[in-house]
Structures are given as structure tokens and as C-alpha cells.
Amino acid sequence: MNTHDGYRIDVEKHLIPGVGAHWLERLEPEHLERLYITMQDTGLSAGTAHHVHRTARNALNEAVRRGHLTRNPAILAKAPALSEEEVEPYEVPEVQRLLAAAAQRRNSARWAVALALGLRQGEALGLKWDDVDLAKGTFRIRRSRIRPKYEHGCGGDCGRPAGSCPKRRNIRPVTGDVKSKAGRRTVGLPAPLVALLRKHRAEQDAERARARQLWHDEGWVFATRTGGPLNHNTDYHEWKRLLKTAGLREARLHDARHTAATVLLILRQPERTVMSLMGWSSTDMAKRYQHVTDTVRADVASQVGSLIWEARTKSAADENVTVRRDSLATILQLIEDGLLKHDDADREILAKLQAALADLHTAIATPDNEPNGEAK
């Protein structure tokens, strides 16, 4: 389901039946709040109700902009409370286990791209070799693979859902533009990933040779065994199998994007760099995708320890400084000459300096102070 489909379901299935009987100018926040409560009372999640709320808010903002309303009741309405669970991204050793397991499977570079670069599923599946410059080590992200939507090719005679029809037809384009202007970006590739993509391309060339006339040469980076674009569901189930093979905890495919964003946090990359790499148009996205992991906590704890305890130990050790005896004698002579030229100096300060000079002269005169003509 794409974004447009989500809006249409919100409007046709929820907003029109729920508040469609009210005149636009008489729509009140309470009408929307009752709709959200009714939705949840019938078993729908708070997330679904919240999505309907966002759709209503955006639509009514447009009505305000065009002068049909003086205020937006959806902004005044209390949105359904969301109790989202904190995403737990994979730690670096877990990522390494995943990549090791992926190396034994077909299209292994697909998962390196997800975990290292954080590409959205549609962006990764929409990549073509024309978007890849292995010499420069870059990807150009400019399109996204769209989930197919099927209609019957048999006129409905098969008695199955359209998606299971033996003669089904996809009524959507294969790809579309990325989600936003910020989504159109160029991403640098780590050297190990460039090597992995070169290996992947060689493997794909071998598959092309085996498939012969069955190969659909459409240029997909991650393709089926006959060169066609990968299906979203196939890709999703392969991710689940990979987690099981690697012996890792359950996670959504989109959590790979959270993992990549958190790795950038661990590497302390500047916010502007992170936004560019991840394709974000708002800094608020960092709050959603970057998480404080055990690695980050340990790093912070180490820095605090260095600042408080190690600094104290270091300051105590720094009380003793080793200086060559002849160098110190030269400096002392210059200081004495300077003091003699300033008769108007504060007598108390002069007395302290002269006492300090006497101590230093004594240290220099001690023959067994330090070997190699050095004094502490």
C-alpha cells in the first residue's frame, strides 16, 4: 500500500462514514474525537486512528488555506495517544553476524546496503545499475519500487482475490519518484561494500548467462533469477529467514534503517551529514531513528570517567616535570637579571620569587638529582 492508498482508505472507510454528515463549517473538534474513540472501541489500533487524524488535519489545512474554513478543527482535536515501543537497533556485532549469514545467500549485497546505508525498502529495490558508480563509490537514489496492486485478468471468474488470480494484472507503475526532494540524494559507499557489489554483479552476470532467453534485462541491481524486479513480500520474507539463520532477535525490515542511523550516531557524524545520507528533510527524524544503544552508553561512561577520574590522576602526576639542568640555569639567570632591573616591583612578590629561585638553584646544584644532566 502506498501513501495515496492510505489516504483513500482513511477518507472512504473512516472519515466519510464518521463525520461526513456534518457541514464543513460546522465540523467541531469533538466530532473528530468521538470518531477516534469509536474506531478504537471497535478494535482498531491507536496508530490507525492517529493516521486518520493526520489525514483529516492535512485535508482541513488545505480548506483553511483556500478560505473555506477560518480554523482547522483537527488541530484543536486531541489526537489519539500513541504508545510506540522504543525500537532497539542491532549492535555492531549483531550487524556483523547478519552480514556473515547473508554472505551465504543470494543477493547478499542487498542486506549490506540496508544495514550500512539505511536505504528504505523501496529505494533499495528500485536501484538500477545506471544509478551505481563503483569507480567513484556512489549510489544515486532517485526512484522507489512501488508495491504492486493487482486486478483480475479473468474478469473475476477464478473466485480468488485479485492478488491470487492466475491472470492477475499489476495496475501500478513499477517505480515512482522517491518520497521527497531530500530523498533524491547521492550516497557514498564504504570500500567493503563496493567490493561486495562487484562480486554481486559478477554473480548476476552468471545468472544472466544461465537464464539465456528467459532473462529480462531491465538493469535492476537486486533482481529475480530471471532479471525481473524483486517483490516487496519476497524481500520481506527473505529478511525474516536471514534473521533466523543468524540467530538474532525478531525485527522489522525497516529497523535496518534505524540501525544504520544509529551507527552514524555512534560515529558522531554531523547532523547535516546524517540528514543527507538518510534522505531526511527534517531534523526531527533523528529523534525517531537514532537510538541510544549500549555502545553509546558505554562510550559516554568512558568519557565521563576520563574527564573526572583520569584527569585527577593526571594532574597529580603533572606536579613533577623533568628539565635539562643547563636549560633551567639559563632561564633562571634571565629571571634574576629581570628582577634586578625592576626595583619598583612589589617587595612581597620579589621575596617569594627569590625564595623560589633559591630552591631551584639548590635542585640544580644537587649532583645526584637525575642522570643525564636533568633536574626534576
- Could you give the CA distance from residue 201 to residue 127 in angstroms, rounded to a whole number? 13
Residue 72 has pLDDT above 60, yes or no: yes
pLDDT at position 272 is: 74
- Could you give the CA distance from residue 139 to residue 188 in angstroms, rounded to a whole number? 7
- Could you give the CA distance from residue 36 to residue 43 in angstroms, rounded to a whole number? 11
What does the pLDDT look like over 161-175, one tens digit per residue? 888 898 888 888 888
Number of H helices, E strands in the chain: 17, 9
Averaged pLDDT for residues 40-49: 91
Q: Is the pTM of this model over 0.85?
A: no
pLDDT confidence band for 322 (50 / 70 / 90): low
In this structure, of 93-102, 142-151, 281-290, 311-320, the range with the lowest mean pLDDT score is: 311-320
Provide φ and ψ at 348, rounded to 5°. Answer: -65, -40
CATH architecture of 3-76: Orthogonal Bundle (1.10)
Nearest Cα to 68, choosing from 57, 78, 60, 76?
Answer: 60
pLDDT at position 89 is: 86
pLDDT at position 239 is: 94
pLDDT confidence band for 51 (50 / 70 / 90): very high
Give the homologous superfamily in CATH for domain 89-141+184-312: Intergrase catalytic core (1.10.443.10)
pLDDT at position 128 is: 95
Query: Of the segments 112-116, 203-207, 259-263, which one has the largest average pLDDT value?
Result: 203-207
Averaged pLDDT for residues 11-28: 94
Residue 193 has pLDDT above 80, yes or no: yes
Residue 350 has pLDDT above 80, yes or no: no
- Could you give the CA distance from residue 331 to residue 131 in angstroms, rounded to a whole number? 67
What does the pLDDT look like over 82-127, one tens digit per residue? 776 677 888 889 999 999 999 999 999 999 999 888 888 999 999 9
- Could you give the CA distance from residue 335 to residue 345 in angstroms, rounded to a whole number? 13
pLDDT at position 320 is: 61
